[in-house]
Amino acid sequence: MAKPKVRTELRFLLNGSDVTLQDVAADETLLDYLRLRRSLRGTKEGCAEGDCGACTVLVGKLSGGKLVYESVNACIRFLGSLDGCHVVTVEHLRADAGGLHPVQQAMVDFHGSQCGFCTPGFVMSLYGLWMRDPDPSVAAIEKALQGNLCRCTGYEAIVRAARAVSSYGAAKKDPLAAERKSVTARLAALRDGKRVEIGAGKQRLIVPASVDDFASILKKEPTATVVAGSTDVGLWVTKHMRDISPAVFIGGLDGLRAIAEENGVITIGAGVTYSEAFGLLAKRIPALGPLFDRIGGEQVRNMGTIGGNIANGSPIGDTPPPFIALGARLTLRRGSKRRTIALEDFFVAYGKQDRRPGEFVEAVHVPVPAKSSRFAVHKVTKRRDEDITATLGAFFLTLARDGTVASVRIAYGGMAATPKRASAVEQALLGKPWTEATVDAAIAAYDLDFTPLTDMRATAEYRSLAAKNLLRRFFAETSGTKAPVTVTRQEAA
């Protein structure tokens, strides 16, 4: 294809103003830009790794022509990913009549701040929640706040405030709501179909014009850093001070952001975020709903992509095991050439994937399990929410009419150098009656499949034992027991 036209400046909206930047480094974060270049110091740095939420801002983007605001972590969000977006910081909040915004007023009245350092982040997360859910349940509040740490209040006052926001003002009266039309138009006007290229040498950033453009860029520059949600690459910069130039920002490419079901297979574009995928996946494969609710915090789910979770090859990524258990396939693309492989074959060894130079993950195809089968995925962590997997097991079982195991696929994360099938366990179950005795007998096979490591998240002994017990849990929940099979955090009555 013809090379698209090139623009050498980044354009986005910040609160009420237009921003045009020619001097942007590939690794310049939104947080540093706000604090250092714009002296907008309401947004704080607490951890610089997307875990504490003190830097939470909203980013509005056009999604299928519709303006959607999402909470994100400014600390690991690169400026390069913001072309054509609207950044909203705490400084922009106000009530329709001026003064404190309803979220802010509720936080004041319910004593939701003590030291106050985390507070602007909480305010922004609650603001993002209130926009889409003006009268949220406690469960919705807790979910929206999974990515916000507070060390002072114990959260109770913040949750009380969040529950009360609706009595402080209507979301449709929000000044930002009133600006939606004009912002939508302004953002649409920023989308000129051009590739953005800024800088040279060690400070180059590229925002491709399209997926085809991205494919040609990567083919030409196979060592470029591909940045989608930056929930991983962000830390390469903030924590490891790595150079990422040239960085190619693909998070805004519509061609990678489709998710749709066809013939019982859900195809997820590599740029689809956890939040965007949640609706369809949780509906069609219900076991994935609770899992997605425990990946990162809300901000990370709004940024992080499923494609990135697969492409980075981490042994503790949470989407590969369930997708492998379901028999997902992966489409890789280089230039205009595509190939599709079994997802499990993508993970070759620690830090090594079946991705050739210039090739990128374009989509993952996840079969929807048949109603007659059983599918479950269980994640075990030190802290229930916003924590990285110690062990995660996914189980996909189909029984024959006689109650024997007709097919079974089991995959784990956190147990090996890659996401990995429990092949020996599967063999031990296959063809046997699905009974507790069969499960008990199969447990020993785990030691043939896995030799987990000890690290700060768990010892090898715990990983091994908990992994085995997840099969017991899976058996229990498929065997019709009425007693609870695990602890749950439901909304308090």
Partner 1 sequence: MNKHAAPDLKAAHIKGGVATDQRHDSAHKHVTGTAIYIDDMAEPQGLLHGCLGLAAVTHGSIRSMDLSAVRSAPGVVDVLTAKDVPGENDISPTGRHDEPVLADGVVQFYGQPIYCVIAETREQARRATRFAKVEYDEMPFVVDVADLDPLKDKLVTPPLTLKRGDARTAIRKAPKRIKGRMRLGGQDHFYLEGQIAMAVPGEDHDVLVYCSTQHPSEVQHMVAHALGVPNHAVTVEIRRMGGGFGGKETQGNQFAALAAIAARKHRRAVKIRPDRDDDMTATGKRHDFVIDYEVGFDGDGNIHGVDFMFAARCGFSSDLSGPVTDRALFHCDNTYFWPAVHARSAPLYTNTVSNTAFRGFGGPQGMVGAERVIEEVAFALGKDPLDIRKLNFYGEIGDGKDRNVTPYHQPVEDNIIQRIVAELEESCQYARRKRTIAAFNANSRYVKRGIALTPVKFGISFTATQYNQAGALVHVYTDGSVHLNHGGTEMGQGLYLKVAQVVAEEFQIDLDQVKITATTTGKVPNTSATAASSGSDLNGMAAQNAAQQIKDRLIDFAVDKYQVPRDQVIFLPNRVRVGNQEIGFADLVKQAYLARIQLSAAGFYKTPKIHWNRDKGQGRPFYYFAYGAACSEVSIDTLTGEYVVERTDILHDAGRSLNRAIDLGQVEGGFIQGMGWLTTEELWWDAKGRLRTHAPSTYKIPLASDRPKIFNVRLAEWPEAGEPTIHRSKAVGEPPFPLGISVLHALSDAVASVADHTIFPNLDAPATPERVLMAVERMKTQFAGG
Among 7, 14, 51, 251, binds partner 1 (CB under 8 A): 51
Kindly tell me which residue out of 172, 371, 383, 401 binds partner 1, with binding defined by CB under 8 A: 383
Using the contact rule CB under 8 A, the part of the chain among 58-66, 165-173, 380-388, 437-445 near partner 1 is: 380-388
Instruction: Verify binding: residue 353, partner 1, rule CB under 8 A.
Output: no
CA angle 236, 241, 243 (to 5 degrees): 80
Alpha carbon separation from 183 to 173, 207, 363 (Å, rounded): 16, 21, 31
**How far apart are alpha carbons 99 and 101 in whole angstroms?**
7
Contact (Cβ atoms closer than 8 angstroms) between residue 325 and residue 342:
no
CB of 463 to partner 1, least distance (A): 9
List 24, 72, 79, 93, residue binding partner 1 (CB under 8 A): 93
d(C-alpha 396, C-alpha 409), whole Å: 5
Contacts to partner 1 from residues 404-463, by CB under 8 A: 455-459, 461-462
Nearest to 205 by CA among 330, 383, 80, 370: 80
| Other beta carbons less than 10 A from residue 484's beta carbon | 9
From residue 192 to residue 231, the character string flagging contacts with partner 1 as x (rule: CB under 8 A) and all else as - is ----------------------------------------
Is 41 a binding residue for partner 1 by CB under 8 A? The answer is yes
Residue 46 or 307 with smaller CB distance to partner 1: 46
In the complex, minimum distance from the CB of residue 178 to partner 1, in angstroms, rounded to a whole number: 20
443, containing H or E segment? helix 436-443
Minimum distance between the CB of residue 170 and partner 1, rounded to whole angstroms? 19
User: If binding means CB under 8 A, how many residues of this protein chain bind partner 1?
Assistant: 92
Question: For residues 152-171, which are near partner 1 according to CB under 8 A?
Answer: 152-159
Q: Which stretch binds partner 1 (CB under 8 A): 111-119, 249-257, 340-348, 360-368?
A: 111-119
Least Cβ distance, residue 88 to partner 1 (angstroms): 12
Cβ contact 302:53 at 8 Å: no
Q: Which two tokens stand for residue 52?
A: 């504490």
Cβ 37 to partner 1 shortest distance, Å? 12
CA distances from 146 to 150, 290, 404 (A): 11, 13, 41
Q: Is residue 481 at the binding interface for partner 1, with CB under 8 A as the rule?
A: yes
**How many alpha carbons fall within 13 Å on the CB side of residue 337?**
8
Interaction residues for partner 1, span 54-73 (CB under 8 A): 54
Q: Does 490 bind partner 1 (CB under 8 A)?
A: yes
User: Which residues make Cβ contacts (< 8 Å) with residue 66, sequence separation at least 6?
Assistant: 184
With respect to partner 1, which residue has the nearer C-beta, 91 or 254? 91
Listed ranges 46-54, 78-86, 219-227, 357-365: which one lies at the site for partner 1 (CB under 8 A): 46-54
- 241 lies in the binding site for partner 1 (CB under 8 A): yes
- In the complex with partner 1, the residue whose CB is nearer, 159 or 226, is 159
Burial of residue 236 (number of CB atoms within 10 Å: 0-12, 13-18, 19+): middle
∠ Cα 372 377 379 (to 5°)? 165
d(CA 340, CA 163): 47
Distances (CA, A) of 391 to 280, 411, 466: 25, 11, 7
Shortest Å, Cβ 293 to partner 1: 10
Binding mask 299-328 for partner 1 (x = CB under 8 A): ------------------------------
Burial of 372 (0-12, 13-18, 19+ CB in 10 A): exposed
Interface with partner 1, residue 79, by CB under 8 A: no
Per the CB < 8 A criterion, the answer to whether 412 and 324 are in contact is no
d(C-alpha 232, C-alpha 238), whole Å: 10
Using rule CB under 8 A, residue 100 touches partner 1? yes
Residues 388-407 that bind partner 1 (CB under 8 A): 388, 390
Determine, following the binding rule CB under 8 A, whether residue 77 of this chain makes contact with partner 1.
no
When binding is defined by CB under 8 A, the residue of 38, 163, 194, 473 that contacts partner 1 is 473
Rg over alpha carbons for the chain, rounded to the nearest Å, is 23
Among 49, 96, 221, 254, binds partner 1 (CB under 8 A): 49
Among 386, 408, 411, 446, binds partner 1 (CB under 8 A): 386
Other Cβ atoms closer than 10 A to 235 = 17
DSSP SS3 for 468:
helix
By CB under 8 A, residue 387 contacts partner 1 = yes
Out of 183, 380, 416, 425, the residue judged to bind partner 1 by CB under 8 A: 380
Gap between the Cα atoms of 179 and 185, Å rounded:
10
Please give the residues from 114 up to 153 whose contact with partner 1 meets the rule CB under 8 A. 114-120, 123, 141-143, 145-146, 148-153
Which helix (H) or strand (E) segment is 121 a member of? helix 119-132
CB of 147 to partner 1, least distance (A): 9
Task: For residue 486, state whether it binds partner 1 (rule: CB under 8 A).
Answer: yes
Q: What is the closest distance, in whole angstroms, from the C-beta atom of residue 201 to partner 1 in the complex? A: 14
- Residue number with CB closer to partner 1 (252 or 452): 452
Give me the helices (H) in 329-401, please: 343-346
